[in-house]
Structure 1
Amino acid sequence: MSTMDRIQMKGNRKGLNLIINLLEFNSFEELIEAVKSKLEPVKNFYSGNAVFVTTYPIRLKEEEKTLLEKLLYDTIALSSVTFEESNRKEDLPSIFDGVEEGLTKFITRSLRGGQMIEFKGNVVVVGDVHIGAEIFAEGNIVILGQLKGRAFAGTSGNEKAFVAALKLTPALMSIAGIFARSAENEPNFPEVAKLVDGNIYVEPYIPTKFEY
């Protein structure tokens, strides 16, 4: 099982939520290494934010919480670390599964720097998303214009979510907690970003070839 399956990472405007299945680790040391690997690519982005750690279906020992908390503070300059526990996976936040056909919010204007959209579904913007603007969506993000701001799709953990734009040049992009930045060269054609084997893969949008 991959690190992505054992540790879910969900970001929103409140901070970062790590959901950890403790039964998938053979030792606490293995858990620590997996958390390090998961946080390293995003440590600069979440600096100054709060982190909520949810563990299931068993509990961490108090000394293990202390060590994990120290790791989090050492890796990211956090404002706070909060631990939550659950005995059942069913009690955890659900993953939005409407990426093929589900709740969708339409924004019929461009988003300026400083503006933010957060939605528990898919988001479609008819316009541009400028630098400094942010979109958090539990489903897909589709920009009928240029994406220059930040786009976070699949924030509840859906790895089938995608980000698409007529010109895909995000300052930062995330799908189900996996992060990437745009290439230096600006495309002159629509592109789609999706997860492939745990990494974000960007390809030209060709209607006859695009596989969801």
Structure 2
Amino acid sequence: MENISLKASNTGYQIEIPATSDFEQSLTELKTMLKKVRGADKSTHDTEFSVKTGQRLLTSEQQVELEKVITAFDHFSMGTVVADVQTNEAAATALHDQKVYFVPQIIRSGQEVFFDGDVVLLGKVHQGAILEAAKNIYVVGNVDGAVLHAGYPDNNDAIITGDVRRAAQIRISNLVAIVADSPELGQQKFAYINDQHELAYAAMTDLEKQKPELYRQMEAQ
């Protein structure tokens, strides 16, 4: 049948509804298939039917219709419904998680600028300015007496890296370090929060060890 297919699986059966099929016709063909399955299997054990819809997202009404067709037969139940496309909510979450802001402009004294994601600073942050990021801050440009705040307001997984030697302060989540008191900071270092909830510094070559998830994300890009 062109509008639907039915395959046996380890836990029951898998229904596949092609994205190009007519949904109502698919339901009609499914009823015919289920009658054959019920006729061939006289047992009273419960049988689950999972559903794959490919590049089609079923509406809530379509899922209700589909479940009615399946559960009309004794001991048949509908399992998971899986599509190869994201819901709008899942897509929005994924885009939010991937936000990277390239900042080429000058952030001047007295300004406080926030970015809801990663920040790659290409421009300059003047003394008395504050640059805040929900995630990581990568300094490529110049920081002159400014405050860099990664993981704002409470993301302990964030890092700050790049040449921050002329910054006034760096902050990650709720922790603060005076840069003048941290001579170990340099272009090949990154700042992070360690397991003791302290600001710590490590060479970029140690990123995989200290922040394996972040390292994998960067490697995949």
Q: TM-score range by the shorter chain?
A: 0.3 to 0.5
Normalised to the residue count of structure 2, the TM-score between the two structures is: 0.44
From the two aligned structures, give the one with the greater strand fraction: 1
Q: Which structure: greater helix fraction?
A: 2
